[in-house]
Amino acid sequence: CPAPCQDGCNRNEVEETVGINAVEQYVGDWALINKLSFPKPGIDSGKKVAIVGGGCAGLSAAFFLRQKGHACTIFDAYDRLGGMMVFGIPGYRTPREVLDGEINRIIDMGVEVKLNTRVGTDVSVEELERDFDCVFWGIGANSGRTLSIPGSDAPNCVDGMSYLRAYNEGRLKYLDGRVLVIGAGDTAMDVVAVARRIGNVKSTTAKDKPESVILGHTVHDVITVAKRQGGDVWVIYRRPISRAPATQHELDAVVREGVEIHDSLAPLEVVKDDEGRAVALRVVPVEWDDKGEMQVKSGEEFDIECTLIVSATGQTGDYTGIEEFDNGYGLMDADRLFQVANRPGHFVGGDAIKPHLLTTAIGHASIAAEGIDYYLQEQALPHRPKVDSHHFHLLDELRQRKLEPVEYDHEEIWGTDSAAFAIHNYEDRSHAEIASSEKLFLSYFEKEPMIRRVEFDISSENVLNNFEERFTGLTEEKAIEEANRCMTCGLCSECDQCVIYCPEDAISRVKKDVHAMGRYVDTDYSKCVGCHICADVCPCGYIEMGMQYN
């Protein structure tokens, strides 16, 4: 995960982000090692949801829906769950033992699974609508897009998804010359990284050539090959590499591993030999003007010799038997609540909408599961804020601790009222607001450098056959130390700043027997003069002053 959450971390305004990714890795690994299970499912609702696709989105949907008490059945076309996490992303990015552990924890929540079952051929959409109360589509975009240039029908001109699937299934063991990868997105980075790792063999038989393995003509395990050397791998990208979809970290990593990047080159034609195999890619240099339009440098075309061309320029889904859901681009159309367009009772998430991050698919599933829950209860789906986030809910926290708060009356003006419901700590604004850095008292926090995981330095000299996970996780001590750098934005951190600085002694700590997370102080509004010093010195932006009207 490229950890986009860290880009938005307010700690960046102090020195640098909290290592959220590293801390979560430690917590996740600890949970698996100690065999922690997920929360028990909610009370049985009597409703059944069909989940089509057992990848990231489908598994996440099952997790969220089981928490709400709905029965879930996953239909997956393959012989194991995981989707892109198994068949697309290399194992050194998503270690299989970790992935299997997480999948098993979801299945143990009482999820039924039907493998080798393709909806549209083995099971019809009509059968799902008859037997289930709702359908969630998480079919992904597991088919790659091929090049649309002359000669791209050559057998050794393949798409990136087929290439990665052949590798992950153990069929692709080696390469036999220069590999050209077209594109510079996440799939392209996975393709070139795998190509560098599996190495290069000088002589092969026809049945062992990469295109034969990738196209499924043979699953011959080339275990007798002795002489290997690192594959010669080039990235060809028609835009400046600074505009590549892949992160700079990934680009830097593949360059260190020995991959050559050639940008501002547009593919024109696949050059074939007498047998119809690709032997070169004809390209032309291009420039991009200020309007973003491509200018071709005519007359400067040249050929790049190669033995394999991999197109990693986009993905699409397989809509065999369910063509009515295809929007014409190999994807599904959905609204902001992830309801399938013009199909009541159908929801969708993940790459089936637009190929993106695994964490994006999890987020889609979370929102869709909430919508499904409303739909199954025959309630109107709620309006969601522009920025969608999970949030801490103080009232729920108090109730779980059997500390029932006094409900406040939104019909009244409050904030200077002495009634018990007017205590500012009872308010929960985070469902509609993000605590930005401007709301924090940043000077309170001392500068502490981020504690980083050890990243294995892979270079062109040691990349061959190196399929180890790139990061060494934090120790328990370091994980706790890094987690303590969190500024708890928008949530009381129990720092006592407001108690210390209130000039009227209007703020005091609550008694221990009613203390809970987010409920640490009380305010005596008969003493409060509205000076807002408490809000000014609150490090985490939890206190907000003002009159509130409904």
- From residue 310, how far is each of 61, 85, 159, 508 by CA, in Å? 33, 20, 5, 66
- Helices 476-483 and 20-33: angle between axes, nearest 10 degrees: 140
Name the residue among 138, 143, 140, 141 with its Cα closest to residue 348: 138
**Cα 122 from chain centroid?**
30
pTM of the predicted protein model = 0.80
Query: Which pair of structure tokens corresponds to residue 221?
Result: 């395990």
* Whether the Cβ atoms of residue 395 and residue 427 lie closer than 8 Å to each other: no
Residue 480: enclosing H or E segment and its boundaries?
helix 476-483
CA-CA distance, 278 to 155, in Å (whole number)? 8
User: What burial letters (b/e) apply to 107-119, b meaning 16+ CB within 10 Å?
Assistant: bebebebeeebbb
Name the residue among 424, 412, 455 with its Cα closest to residue 257: 455
* Whether the Cβ atoms of residue 302 and residue 283 lie closer than 8 Å to each other: yes
CA-CA distance, 475 to 278, in Å (whole number)? 50
CA-CA distance, 170 to 355, in Å (whole number)? 24
Tell me the one-letter amino acid at 491. L
* Whether the Cβ atoms of residue 139 and residue 317 lie closer than 8 Å to each other: yes
Per-residue pLDDT of the chain (550 residues; tens, 9 = 90+): 888 889 989 999 999 999 999 999 999 999 999 999 998 888 899 999 999 999 999 999 999 999 999 999 999 999 999 998 988 887 777 888 999 999 999 999 999 999 999 999 999 999 999 999 999 999 999 888 888 999 999 988 888 888 888 777 777 766 777 889 898 777 777 777 777 666 555 545 555 555 544 443 222 222 222 222 356 888 899 999 888 888 787 888 888 878 889 999 999 999 999 999 999 999 999 999 888 889 999 999 999 999 889 888 888 899 999 999 999 989 999 998 899 989 999 999 999 998 888 999 999 999 999 999 999 999 888 776 555 555 556 666 666 666 665 555 555 544 444 555 444 444 445 555 678 898 899 999 999 999 999 877 666 555 555 566 778 899 999 999 999 999 988 888 899 999 999 999 999 998 888 777 777 888 888 898 889 899 999 999 888 776 544 4
Name the residue among 304, 140, 307 with its Cα closest to residue 214: 307
* Neighbour-count burial of 44, counting CB atoms closer than 10 A to its CB (0-12 exposed, 13-18 middle, 19+ buried): exposed
In order of their start, the domains of the chain are 37-142+317-376 (3.50.50.60), 145-314 (3.50.50.60), 392-450+487-550 (3.30.70)
